[in-house]
Structure 1
Amino acid sequence: MSALSLPAAILPAAALLSLSACSEAQTPAPAPASESASPQDQFWQALSTHCGNAYQGALVSNDAADADMQGADMVMHVRECSDEQISVPFHIREQGKEWDRSRTWVFTRTADGLRLKHDHRHEDGESDAVTMYGGDTADGGTATRQSFPVDAESIAMFEREGLTASVTNIWSVEVGPATAPDPEFTYQLTRTVEGGAPEPRNFRVTFDLSQPVDAPPAPWGF
């Protein structure tokens, strides 16, 4: 029932209650201390502070397998954000080539932690034969770094596609909040002989989160 339909005798009391409610609403509840949030929640919040922004990055590792990417233009775009999922397209332009917009990192909250998947598309929007691979966090990580060991579904896909070296993949992501001094975002793929890989692998790209750039076009398929 609205105030307009209340009997006249009740209106003064209703008005007092309304004023009291307004007074209470204007008193902000104390913000929870950041230390009280789990490391994964803090990591999620840090990534969320960059929603809508795009940033330039570069390859900082030197594996021979990535020689073509040395000096390539790289842009990440924190393009879509919700409480449950954050999508980050990763655009690459190698020297003398057109932009490759096939890759999107997809972060998702799960009941047990966080998940990272790789959405790979062709230029016509069709999914690649190797797509939506990744893994879930195996521990709490830290507020700025989370690691994602390869999951069983991805292992089965890699084996089916003959990519047996990838069955020991571990992906790690580091991110600083927008309020941090000189924040960065780093994506890393590693494989180790100790972890069962035939040879070590290290792919690492870092983005400067202190200097947003113009947002790129949508990734392929979106």
Structure 2
Amino acid sequence: MLLKRVLLLIALLSALQSIGQDNERSLSFWNTLKSHCGKAYSGILEIPKEDEAFGGKTLVMHVKSCSENTIRIPFYVGEDKSRTWILTMADGIISLKHDHRHEDGTMDDVNFYGGTATNEGKADVQFFPADVHTQTLIPDAATNVWWITIDETSFTYNLRRLGTDRVFKVVMDLTKPIETPDEPWGWKD
């Protein structure tokens, strides 16, 4: 009986230690991203190069707003300032939402879709499978998985729609900050 209790206690302590380590990984990712707050970067569409909406256009991300639990990153595609990636942190888990606005600042009908990581991820990558809101709002996106990577030189925003050929990848160069862009559509400080 005593041996079972000791083994159970060891297993519990091991699980708690693992949770703490995982939380450190998501916090490391979070803090690396926050270290870019206030800076803007340019990038390229890596996949698919022939995409009509993004291909050949100037791509800019601006890590515009950072608080303890929220990071807002407007993403510009040429003159289109409608997109903002919103990352939130709760209990060591990160969520990604997409805020889409019209030029007059009003919300798009397709808005705040995205997902929440199913675990604490890693220090350099976080995955976000489509959540219920996304599945309801955009039924074809029910199998979407977004992921973001970050290291010393690049930030990537990625999408894969499982069961289809849909793949999307933007690579932003973190080695060369650029001039801060104009306000995104609908932005209110």
With normalisation by structure 2, the TM-score equals 0.84
Change (3 A) 1:87 1:68: closer
Segments ≥4 residues shifted beyond 6 Å: none
Q: Which residue of 2 aligns with 1:45?
A: 31
Is 1:88 aligned with 2:73?
Answer: yes
Residue identity in the other structure for 2:159: L
CA distance in 2, matches of 1:112, 1:184: 23
Q: Which residue of 2 aligns with 1:173?
A: 148
CA distance in 1, matches of 2:96, 2:53: 25
2:45 to 55, 59, 76: 59
1:37 is displaced (CA, Å) by 6.1
Alignment coverage as a number of residue pairs: 167
Q: Describe how 1:181-200 pairs up with structure 2 within 5 A.
A: 183-193=153-163, 199-200=164-165
Residue identity in the other structure for 2:98: H
Q: Which residue of 1 aligns with 2:89?
A: 109
Query: Alignment RMSD, CA only?
Result: 1.6
Structure with max Cα Rg: 1
Which structure 2 segments of 5+ residues have no match? 1-20
**Structure 1 range deviating more: 69-78 or 55-64:** 55-64
CA distance in 2, matches of 1:107, 1:89: 11
Which structure 1 segments of 5+ residues have no match? 1-34, 94-98, 159-163, 194-198
Q: Which residue of 2 aligns with 1:145?
A: 125
Is 1:203 aligned with 2:168?
Answer: yes
SS at match of 1:143: coil
SS at match of 2:47: coil
1:125 is displaced (CA, Å) by 0.4
Instruction: Among all aligned residue pairs of Structure 1 and Structure 2, give the percentage whose two residues are the same amino acid.
Output: 40
SS at match of 1:213: coil
1:135 is displaced (CA, Å) by 0.6
Change (3 A) 1:145 1:104: same
Tell me if structure 2 keeps the 8 A contact 1:63–1:201.
no
